Amino acid sequence: MSEHEIAGATALVTGASRGFGRGIATALSRAGAQVVGVARDRGPLEELRAELGESFTPVSADAADPTVAGQLIDAYRPAILVLNAGATPLPRPIQHYTWQTFSRNWDTDVQHVFHWAREALLAPLAPGSVVITLSSGAALFGSPLSGGYAGAKATIKFLTAYAAAESERGALGIRFVSVLPQLTGATALGAVYVAAYAARQGVDVATFTNGQGPALTPERVGQAITDLVTGTGLDQDAYLLTAAGLGPLT
């Protein structure tokens, strides 16, 4: 999709009310897309609507509900679908999880990507559409203080690649790509884990953060997602995302 084509295109972003999703919705809106933003809490969505104006449509709903996925795909037929919503697991060592708390990111993050990717394939979305999922660098490196999170995010990467293969087999022309961001304290979710890993290492947050190098910001994530939609040569199934931008998986 060219920069010209993004103008007026419909984009749907889950988890749009704060953090990365807010940065993505803002970047796509500024690039000219009509953005539908989904989150459960209506207040922050209304604030974003006030900021972005009529180019942003707030939808208060549970993105992990299969009926919501079906209804919103039917209603909006997005040319750009960003599956970003995610739960914040408890920050604690594995023995302090129960099965229910361990599987939280499977119930939210994985379940929502499963339902929406399935609906995108079955609709099907128009040829030239792009579906982008938010996995995590934790899918490659693990995350010992967040229970089932790393495995859930690895499954999102696999699911996205499976959907890409089905799109290709069916000649649907829908592109599926997953993005694996590095940990950053710049969002509500990330700040919980920066604090937890700093405490684990026995250092303060500033010392831990400085040791990580430049931090990824929601604005940088928004730019990277817009680049993925419009950029030429970005044709891999999955990308790492750091403050330096999109990079190949090593």
Ligand X SMILES: NC(=O)c1ccc[n+]([C@@H]2O[C@H](COP(=O)([O-])OP(=O)(O)OC[C@H]3O[C@@H](n4cnc5c(N)ncnc54)[C@H](OP(=O)(O)O)[C@@H]3O)[C@@H](O)[C@H]2O)c1
Beta strands in 152-207 (DSSP E): 175-181
- Please tell me whether residue 108 binds ligand X under the rule CB under 6 A: yes
- CA 138, distance to chain mean position in Å, is 14
Check binding of 12 to ligand X (CB under 6 A). no
H or E element in which residue 125 lies: none
List, in order, residues 6 or more apart from 217 with CB less than 8 Å away.
Answer: 23, 184, 186, 243
DSSP 8-state assignment for residue 146: B
Closest distance of CB 6 from ligand X, Å: 21
Choose one: 9-17, 113-121, 124-132, 242-250; the region binding ligand X (CB under 6 A).
Answer: 9-17
CB closest to ligand X, residue no: 19
What gap in Å lies between CA 89 and CA 152, rounded to an integer?
11
Spatial distance between the Cα atoms of 1 and 127, rounded to a whole number of angstroms: 11
Q: Which is nearer to ligand X, 29 or 136 (CB)?
A: 136
**Interface with ligand X includes 226 (CB under 6 A)?**
no
Q: Which of residues 138-157 bind ligand X (CB under 6 A)?
A: none
What is the Cα–Cα distance from 141 to 144, expressed in whole angstroms? 10
Chosen residue from 12, 20, 113, 196 binding ligand X by CB under 6 A: 20
- Alpha carbons 75 and 58: distance in angstroms, whole number: 14
186 to 225, contacts with ligand X by CB under 6 A?
187-190
Angle 48-225-233 (CA atoms, 0-180°, nearest 5)? 160
Relative to beta strand 245-247, strand 238-242 is: antiparallel
Residue 183 touching ligand X (CB under 6 A): yes
Which of 55, 184, 209, 226 touches ligand X by CB under 6 A?
Answer: 184
Work out how close the CB of 21 gets to ligand X at its nearest, in angstroms, rounded to a whole number: 5
152-181 positions binding ligand X, by CB under 6 A: 181
What track of x and - describes contact with ligand X for positions 57 through 86 (by CB under 6 A)?
-----xxx-------------------xxx
Interaction between residue 87 and ligand X (CB under 6 A): yes
Report d(CA 213, CA 91) in Å as an integer.
22
Binders of ligand X among residues 111 to 140 (CB under 6 A) are 134, 136
Residues forming contacts to ligand X in the complex (CB under 6 A) are 14-15, 17-21, 38-41, 62-64, 84-88, 108-109, 134, 136, 181, 183-184, 187-190
